Structure 1
């Protein structure tokens, strides 16, 4: 069954904008998956971690992949971008998270939907609110008001959507 999902994208190592652009191309190339819309880019300070600032965005996709198959595909894209997981919240070349998969609620060893920490992160909520404001509770936005984040105009998504 075709489902709309929202994917959080982030990178804080290497050529961040290029990594996000490549990830969007990879998302659009997944079987039965199409990128519908992409938020603006945002620059944010790491949360609960060190390292350089992140570039973040959210993509709205339409997919026939199951939640688990989508997660596995996202992890493959991360690995192709050189993602390493030496410790929790380590800096990364690419981070892809399923924020919402339709209205599915799921809790398993490897995947929780909706994403369990999305309401704690301005770098998720602001770009998500551009695409799906109905999915962002006003109290969530108020709760992250102190986090350092700004819309970043340094990249034009251009013709990435396919």
Structure 2
């Protein structure tokens, strides 16, 4: 691959000082091989999705330009999760760090390990609102415009965190 691909990464944490986990991961994304971190959103506090009794999440979205193939980028993201002691015990359970490849250029990928666009991208305010902050006119590979998706996904209890 010679030309960089614009991609978006969703970040989330609700264990082990979530704000610090996300801030550190944003810095670590800038150090990925063959990748440049272009920008990132503000941090947002969101209610947990999944099993009850979890602490609130801290979320953000980062924009990267990468020369890594999609699965190689996924491998790098999962390596960062492991550095943050990510343990996968239950679906949508609490975690120190979650890194999701939301979009990889205009590609649609459906493999055993990776689905892009992320399958829940259009349903989750804690992804859509930070994404809109850094890419307000973004269109998904299927042509749907981000502003239209926001109309169907109100901010609700999602809050932008102070700097």
TM-score in terms of structure 2 length: 0.89
**Cα gap change, 1:128/1:43 in structure 2, threshold over 3 Å: closer, same or farther?**
same
**Cα gap change, 1:81/1:38 in structure 2, threshold over 3 Å: closer, same or farther?**
same
User: 1:133 and 2:142 equivalent?
Assistant: no
CA shift at 1:146, angstroms? 6.4
Partner residue, 2:76: 73
**Cα gap change, 1:146/1:49 in structure 2, threshold over 3 Å: closer, same or farther?**
farther
For residues 53-111 of structure 1, what are the alpha-carbon distances to aligned partners after superposition, in whole Å with 9 as ceiling and x for unaligned? 00000000111111000001000100110111101001000000011111111100110
CA contact (8 A) 2:50 2:93 kept: no
User: 1:82 and 2:85 equivalent?
Assistant: yes
User: 1:101 and 2:108 equivalent?
Assistant: no
Q: CA RMSD in A?
A: 1.4
Q: Distance in 2 between matches of 1:54 and 1:5?
A: 22
Partner residue, 2:27: 25
**Cα gap change, 1:144/1:49 in structure 2, threshold over 3 Å: closer, same or farther?**
farther
**How many pairs does the alignment contain?**
154
Q: Distance in 2 between matches of 1:63 and 1:112?
A: 18
Q: Distance in 2 between matches of 1:52 and 1:5?
A: 28
CA shift at 1:152, angstroms? 0.6
1:1-162 aligned at under 5 Å gives the runs 1-50=3-52, 51-135=54-138, 136-145=145-154, 147-153=156-162, 155=163
TM-score in terms of structure 1 length: 0.90
CA contact (8 A) 2:128 2:146 kept: no
